[in-house]
Amino acid sequence: MNEARRTPGFETLAIHAGQDPDPTTGAVVPPIHLATTYAQDDVGSHRGFEYSRSGNPTRAVLETALATLEGAPYGFAFASGMAAEDAVLRTLAPGDHVVIPNDAYGGTYRLVARVHHAQGIAFSPVELSDASAVAGSIGPRTRLVWVETPSNPLLQVADVAALAELAHSRGALLVVDNTFATPYLQQPLSLGADVVVHSTTKYLGGHSDVVGGFVATSDEAIAERIGFLQNATGAVPGPFDCYLVLRGLKTLAVRLDRQCQSALAVARFLEAHEKVARVRYPGLESHPGHDLAKAQMRDFGAMVSFTLRGGEPAALDVAASTGIFTLAESLGAVESLIEHPARMTHLSAAGSALEVDPALVRLSVGLETLEDLIDDLDRALGSIRS
Ligand code: PLP
């Protein structure tokens, strides 16, 4: 007689969902299937795979695993986060309108403003924490409300459940870029979102060695269209890349537990420092979205942004003076990174409504010894010349 079993927890699913031992060999790690084509038993009769752009067994394992972690019935892996976002935006038709956050990732802004806008998609950048501004920006042709929470690089927190309700009441779908939080910290579909996008390059891969993207959805019609676009446009990840993301997923929870703990300590250190004007970290009580983040997230993430009293010159000094925090774009991996968004990741938003304060510095807190990280920042802040 079967005993009732508890639902597997996140860590169990991250290691096992879709990842049963290989039926032919018993290998406990999904094989990397390099074949581009698959023998057919008869014309039109195959064993689930025909051609590797349309479907690949290693990619299928990743798609099952990550969709399961997002609580999604459908998931599609892409060659990059931008390719995943592009697929979602390609579901729109000329004349349609999308609401985007006024502090969206610079690449998202560029994709909407300089690629899809040129193809006839209208857009409005809006402050997502201002419900009446969001409501006012939704028109009869609005198809998508695009959310990033916590946002990049300002770490603003948006109310996913409230925005989903608002979008749905006006006939639009809610898309959440869950790159900063990951499904371990936040599950947008369970809060009412329709589509989740990821740059798997970040926490999901977790080791700065793979570029990838993902779309998860609970909407059957969207899933059908995204699946079509994945094959038709062909921006698919290679099997080795899929393997690397799968490998990263298995340790996501333990990595993030430690990274969140260190990020809070780093944020508290910065908040007490005389050269720092303002720290943006949702885990600080001073953060305007702290209570909301506490309600919709398991923990507050490992990204910390701060502005310097000395403005841009001080920000550039700090970014160039750390030793353990590496000056580099990207985020979410085991090594800590520092960057200057206005001149690096968000340069593509210069001169737009999404332009970033040049006094801002962004940190991705990694897994090094906490005391070393704080020491490193202390020294860098001490090097400010002005
Ligand atoms: N979304 C967010 C929040 C990001 O930070 C990034 C990249 O930095 C992307 C999407 C794009 O992902 P990728 O670089 O994998 O194309």
Ligand 1 atom index nearest CA of 151: 3
pLDDT band at 341 (very low <50, low <70, confident <90, very high): very high
Give the pTM. 0.96
Q: Report the chain's mean pLDDT, rounded to a whole number.
A: 96
22 is catalytic: no
pLDDT greater at residue 187 or residue 104: 187
Domain ranges of the chain: 10-250, 253-382
> Tens of pLDDT along 38-71?
999 999 899 999 999 999 999 999 999 999 999 9
Q: Which of 22, 38, 53, 170 is catalytic?
A: 53
Residue 337: its pLDDT value, please? 98
| % the chain with pLDDT above 90 | 92
Q: Ligand 1 centroid vs 58 CA: distance in angstroms?
A: 23
**Sign of torsion over alpha carbons 195, 208, 69, 74:** positive
253-382 CATH: 3.90.1150.10
Q: Ligand 1 centroid vs 240 CA: distance in angstroms?
A: 20
The C-alpha angle 254, 255, 260, rounded to 5 degrees, equals: 100
What is the maximum alpha-carbon separation in the chain?
Answer: 75
Residue 352: its pLDDT value, please? 81
Residue 346: its pLDDT value, please? 86
> Tens of pLDDT along 272-309?
999 999 999 999 999 999 999 999 999 999 999 999 99
pLDDT band at 351 (very low <50, low <70, confident <90, very high): confident
Collapsing DSSP to helix, strand or coil, 21 comes out as: coil
Contact 100, 339 (CB under 8 A): no
Q: Ligand 1 centroid vs 82 CA: distance in angstroms?
A: 6
CA distance 50 to 100: 38
What is the strand order of the sheet 195-199 is part of? 74-78, 213-217, 195-199, 173-177, 142-148, 97-101, 122-126
Collapsing DSSP to helix, strand or coil, 160 comes out as: helix
322 lines ligand 1 (CB under 6 A): no
107 lines ligand 1 (CB under 6 A): yes
The C-alpha angle 67, 174, 219, rounded to 5 degrees, equals: 45
Q: Ligand 1 centroid vs 65 CA: distance in angstroms?
A: 20
pLDDT band at 385 (very low <50, low <70, confident <90, very high): confident
53 is catalytic: yes
Contact 138, 172 (CB under 8 A): yes
Q: Do domains 10-250 and 253-382 have the same CATH topology?
A: no
CA distance 203 to 259: 10
81 lines ligand 1 (CB under 6 A): yes
CA distance 109 to 354: 8
Q: Which of 74, 86, 90, 105 is catalytic?
A: 105
Ligand 1 atom index nearest CA of 201: 15
Q: What is the mean predicted confidence (pLDDT) over 314-336?
A: 97
Residue 2: its pLDDT value, please? 57
CA distance 90 to 112: 10
Nearest CA to ligand 1 atom 14: 81
Ligand 1 atom index nearest CA of 85: 10
10-250 classified as CATH 3.40.640.10: yes
Contact 310, 275 (CB under 8 A): yes
Q: What is the mean predicted confidence (pLDDT) over 100-114?
A: 93
Q: Out of 111, 199, 348, give the residue to mutate to test ligand 1, the one with the largest number of ligand atoms within 8 Å of its CB.
A: 199
Residue 18, pLDDT > 70, answer yes
125 lines ligand 1 (CB under 6 A): no
Residue 355: its pLDDT value, please? 87
Q: Ligand 1 centroid vs 254 CA: distance in angstroms?
A: 22
DSSP string, 169-222: HTT-EEEEE-TTTHHHH--GGGGT-SEEEEETTTTTT-SS----EEEEES-HHH
Residue 1, pLDDT > 70, answer no
